[in-house]
Chain A
Amino acid sequence: MEQPIRIEDEVQFLDPKLVKISRNQFADMEAELPDGSVHAPVEPVRTFPLTQPDQYISLLDANKNELGLIEDIKQLRKADRTVLAEELKKCYFMPKITKIHSLEGRFGITQWEAETNSGSVSFDLRSRHDITSLDGGRLLIKDVDGNRYEIVNYHRLDPKSVALLETQI
């Protein structure tokens, strides 16, 4: 009788010691795969951007085809890891909100004035659906322009910010 598929066989991770990640002269991320092929530019994609930002990184070539998966960036050699981490930081820009100064709603659009780890910012939300509530008081916010913000644990914010937030969630 035929055996059912073994799902472990369905995913092959790139051997972290045989992948070379670097920057080429055009400041693009370049990846040399274990099979010796060299690709640039390579775009790293987090498969679990919210819950496992440093694990299961997919490497895409210029045509968005997957070259391979990296199980954990910590397994990479230091030089490779630095380049990949730097590129990921660019690719995923999501400031963390540390304080909310004010919220003003009109016509269903709410204007937020907030402090983030990247500085103060003002942005607009279309609706409450643009705030996603995750476990542990974590909030993800997407503004009208497509920028994203994060609140690591809103219970930990100052009382005024919490009070303002609670009108929205």
Chain B
Amino acid sequence: MHSGGFSRRDMHRLARSSGSRNTDRQPDVETTTLEEVPAALQRQFEDLLDGEEDIKIAISTDLQFDGTYGKDWVLATEKRLLTFNQNGAPAPEIRNIALEAIDEIQIRELHGNNFMKVRTSEGAFEVARYSKRFAPKFAEATPEIESLIDKIKPDDVDKSKRHRKYVDPGKKKIRCETCGRPIPRWSEVCPNCVEKGKLLFRLLKYALPFWRVSIPALLIMLVIRLVDLYPPILGQRLIDNILIPATLAITGGQSVEPGVFGQLVTIVLLMIGAHAFTAVFSAVRGYMMTWVGQRITLRLRNDAYQHMSILSLDFYQDRETGNLMSRITQDIGRLRDFIAEGLQDIIGDSMTLIYMCIIMFLYSWQLALWVLLPIPFIVLFSFYFGHKMHKVFHVLWKRYAGISTILASTIPGVRVVKAFTREKYEVERFQEQTHLVFDGEMSAAKLWTLYQPIMIFMTFIGTIFIWLVGGRQILNGTLTFGELTLFMTYMTRFLQPVRTLAQMNRRFLRAATSAERVFEILDTPPSVASSKDAIDLPNMRGQVEFRDVFFSYDGEKNAINGTSFTVEPGEMIGLVGHSGAGKSTLINLVTRFYDPNEGEILIDGHDSRDIELKSLRGQIGVVLQDPFLFEGTVADNIGYGKPAATRQEIIAAAKAANAHDFIVKFPDGYDTTVGERGTRVSGGERQRISIARAILKNPRILILDEATSSVDTETESRIQEALGRLIRGRTVFAIAHRLSTLKHSNRLVVLKEGQIDEIGTHKELITKGGTYAGLCEKQMELSKIRAW
């Protein structure tokens, strides 16, 4: 484990107690980073203090200067900075630096580790080396040390060198404050600390409502398994009571008694009865359990999807589509199999084994022991083999995935491959992978082809024992031939349940993994949720105010870094800036795809978090750069935001969006299927469909994200015209790289590294001659070159 586990409460307590002794010195510097120093070290440090001072800050590192893991210390009192280095030469070293001498404390953020460096007028020392895990801790402590320095040097002219920001206020916490575990990016709270109930219990909870069906099904199974063992017993009776006496009688020259055939028919009828019983009730049970399984699937799947739909974009950003899809489809399927079949199989197979053992022991306990002798070996072998097979298949599966990866990159990239004449290289790469698959398949085959014969041989050993031991018992007269046949039949039936039970472990593990993957979805709290007393805002005016907003996607870099400005209803704001300047982030915050880490966004004077999400998003329209069309007709897509729209409204919206003309040219008109498997629709056409969608929704706030990029000039002017109609009378946020697109804007906001660089009208900014003016000039030059 990493060193330095300390609880925040302890630190506060320590900080308070050390502060209370110094009530005469006012005002005190608030410190929060006071870890518990080992007693021996504490004494050494205290020897260096002069009674007038207390240790105010104590932080440990997890690295030493030679690059090995270990715990060094940095302490600060009101007067000095003390550092302890375990591997100082020649002995552990304590350095004592007077705060008065310190000009600057530097944090060097490097790859994989950071350094804390102290600069005085004469020289500089590195005082701590620590991994990135401790970076937040040191970032918090540094300004506190600086405050101590400020107190002792209040008139320092060179203060500016200190007091840099080390922690961004909007930064998201990487680790949970309670348990220290990392918080997944998609979650705001530590899932470890909100976990409720154990996996299996939760799984059973899904099966529990169906106990009225599953318990009878279980009972039926127990009966079936018992009845299933009855025909061999009947066979034994048939042989011992009828067939052998009859054979003996005939070889002895006597005739068989007349009633015997009747007995034979009775036994055969009983056999038919037993089999018919098993067949009928197996079918009934099968149907019941399928029903239970499907009910569970239905519930789990819908619960999971419903929960997914309220999760924030973070959750999706962090996972691949395929991964999430397989949870909803495969994992839930696996859980169903496990709850509905797996658990019953375990019980049923165990019962079959127990029944058989009891019956065999009743017939002949000696022979039963011999029959059971190979079983442990078969179990061990199945177990070992299953494990091995699993590994081989896993490798094989990865190799097949490798083929898919190559195909997935070279098929869409075929133009690049050909243009750079790399066909040969790609073919070789592919062949290499297929050879790997071949090798994998062959090693799988090697195992698999071995498995069957070995299993058969092991079973055969059981049979040999029956012949040998059972045969001897027959010779001794302690066993009948019918009994021997019974043992033979049971021997063959033993194998299947033994094998199932041997593989149970893995089946269980797999179900547990699937359960975890599914419950992870169900347990993720939505990071953007309406608060309990959220209000409806049915007639939004569309005023948007940003107030000291900070936001970070990853907790490392702030995408929005303290932004404040107000947009009046009906105003069009053009957002300008380099890619990564925070334009899209700003929009994600307005639509509440994310919530700010700090500060607030007010809509008509209400904190956006206090507005019902549905009400808010219901009045925001979005036109994206590459609009997404759902599987469905053109009309469905236009009406997506207003399901109750009439045909007339849809046509009107399409007309306003300049989309009507091309839609009517489709053979199926508004009924044309678009989307993944539908008609191909060009970028410009998709664009206009999505504008129609936004017009129909009639939002108060409109977001245009690069709405006119990558289309030809003719199409662009059609889109511009449509946009002109769309934006009228709405609050608009528009992002565009092409500044001409923003010419309708009332004001422009120029963003730079998450902050507002400039704000004002086009004219004002041009006159000002700042960033925006520079950008405009560059684009003018470019547009001269652009001939089409």
User: In which size bucket is the chain B interface?
Assistant: 35 or more
Identify A25's interface contact among B122, B135, B191, CB under 8 A. B122
Q: Do B181 and A166 touch (CB < 8 A)?
A: no
Interface residues of B in 125-180 (CB under 8 A from A): 125-126, 129, 131-133, 135, 174-175
Q: Once the chains are docked, how many angstroms separate the CA of A93 from the CA of B112?
A: 5
Given contacts A27-B126, A109-B181, contact A148 B2 (CB under 8 A): no
Chain A CB count within 10 A is highest, among B117, B175, B182, for: B182
Q: Do A124 and B67 touch (CB < 8 A)?
A: no
Given contacts A89-B67, A107-B520, A121-B69, contact A147 B184 (CB under 8 A): no
Count how many chain A residues have C-beta atoms less than 8 Å from C-beta atoms of the other chain. Answer: 36
B35-75, CB under 8 A of A: which get 1 and which 0?
Answer: 00000000000000000000000000001000111100000
Q: Do A145 and B135 touch (CB < 8 A)?
A: yes
Q: B113: CB under 8 A from chain A?
A: yes
Chain A residues, CB < 8 A from B516: 106-107
Chain A residues, CB < 8 A from B69: 116, 118-121
Q: Do B113 and A93 touch (CB < 8 A)?
A: yes
Q: Once the chains are docked, how many angstroms separate the CA of A147 from the CA of B134?
A: 10
Q: Do B126 and A92 touch (CB < 8 A)?
A: no
Q: Do B117 and A27 touch (CB < 8 A)?
A: yes
CB distance from B788 to the nearest CB of A (A): 26
Q: Do A144 and B112 touch (CB < 8 A)?
A: no
Given contacts A91-B110, A147-B112, contact A26 B68 (CB under 8 A): no
Q: Do B2 and A106 touch (CB < 8 A)?
A: no
Smallest CB gap from B120: residue in A: A26
Interface residues of A in 1-46 (CB under 8 A from B): 25-28
Identify A119's interface contact among B68, B185, B395, CB under 8 A. B68
Q: Do B174 and A145 touch (CB < 8 A)?
A: yes
Q: B119: CB under 8 A from chain A?
A: yes
Q: A127: CB under 8 A from chain B?
A: yes
Q: Do B391 and A166 touch (CB < 8 A)?
A: yes
Smallest CB gap from A149: residue in B: B112
Smallest CB gap from B110: residue in A: A91
Chain B residues, CB < 8 A from A124: 181-182
Given contacts A25-B122, A118-B69, A121-B69, contact A91 B2 (CB under 8 A): no
Identify B182's interface contact among A25, A118, A126, CB under 8 A. A126
Q: B123: CB under 8 A from chain A?
A: yes
Given contacts A27-B125, A90-B110, A93-B113, contact A108 B184 (CB under 8 A): yes
Q: Once the chains are docked, how many angstroms separate the CA of A143 from the CA of B112?
A: 10
Q: Once the chains are docked, how many angstroms separate the CA of A109 from the CA of B192?
A: 10
Q: B456: CB under 8 A from chain A?
A: no
Q: Once the chains are docked, how many angstroms separate the CA of A36 from the CA of B119?
A: 26
Chain A residues, CB < 8 A from B298: none
CB distance from A140 to the nearest CB of B (A): 11
Q: A52: CB under 8 A from chain B?
A: no
CB distance from B516 to the nearest CB of A (A): 8
CB distance from B403 to the nearest CB of A (A): 16
Chain B residues, CB < 8 A from A90: 110, 113, 115, 129
CB distance from A147 to the nearest CB of B (A): 5
Q: Once the chains are docked, how many angstroms separate the CA of A145 from the CA of B119?
A: 27
Q: Do A26 and B2 touch (CB < 8 A)?
A: no
Chain A residues, CB < 8 A from B13: none
Q: B124: CB under 8 A from chain A?
A: yes
Interface residues of A in 57-97 (CB under 8 A from B): 89-95
Q: Once the chains are docked, how many angstroms separate the CA of A163 from the CA of B657?
A: 59
Chain A residues, CB < 8 A from B398: 169
Q: Do A27 and B174 touch (CB < 8 A)?
A: no
B89-133, CB under 8 A of A: which get 1 and which 0?
Answer: 000000000000000000000111101010100111110010111
Identify A147's interface contact among B117, B131, B182, CB under 8 A. B131
Q: Do A127 and B318 touch (CB < 8 A)?
A: yes
Q: Do A109 and B113 touch (CB < 8 A)?
A: no
Q: Do B111 and A93 touch (CB < 8 A)?
A: yes
Q: Do B184 and A94 touch (CB < 8 A)?
A: no
Q: Once the chains are docked, how many angstroms separate the CA of A123 from the CA of B185?
A: 16
Smallest CB gap from A142: residue in B: B112
Chain A residues, CB < 8 A from B185: 126
Chain B residues, CB < 8 A from A116: 69
Q: B394: CB under 8 A from chain A?
A: yes
Q: Once the chains are docked, how many angstroms separate the CA of A49 from the CA of B318?
A: 27
Q: Once the chains are docked, how many angstroms separate the CA of A91 from the CA of B174?
A: 23
Q: Do A148 and B111 touch (CB < 8 A)?
A: yes
Q: Do A91 and B111 touch (CB < 8 A)?
A: yes
Q: B785: CB under 8 A from chain A?
A: no
CB distance from B402 to the nearest CB of A (A): 11
Smallest CB gap from B115: residue in A: A90
Q: Do B124 and A26 touch (CB < 8 A)?
A: yes
Q: A136: CB under 8 A from chain B?
A: no
Identify B124's interface contact among A28, A89, A163, CB under 8 A. A28
Chain A residues, CB < 8 A from B181: 109, 111, 124
Q: B556: CB under 8 A from chain A?
A: yes
Q: Once the chains are docked, how many angstroms separate the CA of A34 from the CA of B554?
A: 42
CB distance from B188 to the nearest CB of A (A): 13
Chain B residues, CB < 8 A from A26: 119, 123-124
Q: B1: CB under 8 A from chain A?
A: yes
Q: Do A148 and B1 touch (CB < 8 A)?
A: no
Q: Once the chains are docked, how many angstroms separate the CA of A127 from the CA of B115?
A: 28
Smallest CB gap from A111: residue in B: B181
Q: A122: CB under 8 A from chain B?
A: yes
Identify A27's interface contact among B63, B113, B123, B523, CB under 8 A. B123
Given contacts A92-B111, A127-B318, contact A144 B67 (CB under 8 A): no
CB distance from A136 to the nearest CB of B (A): 14
Q: Do A107 and B113 touch (CB < 8 A)?
A: no
Given contacts A27-B123, A90-B115, A93-B110, contact A145 B68 (CB under 8 A): no
Q: Once the chains are docked, how many angstroms separate the CA of A65 from the CA of B324?
A: 43
Q: Once the chains are docked, how many angstroms separate the CA of A124 from the CA of B174?
A: 11
Q: Do A118 and B112 touch (CB < 8 A)?
A: no
Smallest CB gap from B187: residue in A: A107
B67-85, CB under 8 A of A: which get 1 and which 0?
Answer: 1111000000000000000
Chain B residues, CB < 8 A from A106: 191-192, 516
Chain A residues, CB < 8 A from B2: 121-122
CB distance from B662 to the nearest CB of A (A): 41
Interface residues of A in 122-169 (CB under 8 A from B): 122-124, 126-127, 143-148, 163, 166, 169
CB distance from A159 to the nearest CB of B (A): 11
CB distance from B429 to the nearest CB of A (A): 12
Smallest CB gap from A118: residue in B: B68
Q: Once the chains are docked, how many angstroms separate the CA of A100 from the CA of B46?
A: 40
B420-459, CB under 8 A of A: which get 1 and which 0?
Answer: 0000000000000000000000000000000000000000
CB distance from B64 to the nearest CB of A (A): 9
Chain B CB count within 10 A is highest, among A94, A95, A108, A144, for: A108
CB distance from B439 to the nearest CB of A (A): 15
CB distance from A134 to the nearest CB of B (A): 15
CB distance from A89 to the nearest CB of B (A): 7
Q: Once the chains are docked, how many angstroms separate the CA of A146 from the CA of B191?
A: 21
CB distance from B73 to the nearest CB of A (A): 17
Q: Do B131 and A107 touch (CB < 8 A)?
A: no
CB distance from A112 to the nearest CB of B (A): 12
Q: Do B556 and A27 touch (CB < 8 A)?
A: no
Smallest CB gap from B124: residue in A: A26
Smallest CB gap from B104: residue in A: A26
Chain A residues, CB < 8 A from B122: 25
Q: Once the chains are docked, how many angstroms separate the CA of A95 from the CA of B66?
A: 12
Given contacts A118-B67, A121-B69, contact A27 B124 (CB under 8 A): yes
Chain A residues, CB < 8 A from B182: 109, 124, 126, 144-145
B614-651, CB under 8 A of A: which get 1 and which 0?
Answer: 00000000000000000000000000000000000000
**Can you report 7 A-B residue pairs in the complex whose CB atoms are below 8 A from each other?**
A107-B184, A109-B182, A118-B68, A122-B1, A127-B318, A146-B112, A166-B391
Give 7 new A-B contacts, CB below 8 A, not counting A107-B192, A169-B398: A26-B124, A92-B112, A119-B68, A144-B182, A146-B112, A146-B135, A166-B395
The 8 A-B pairs of least Cβ separation, nearest first, read A119-B69, A93-B112, A93-B113, A146-B132, A26-B124, A145-B133, A144-B182, A145-B132
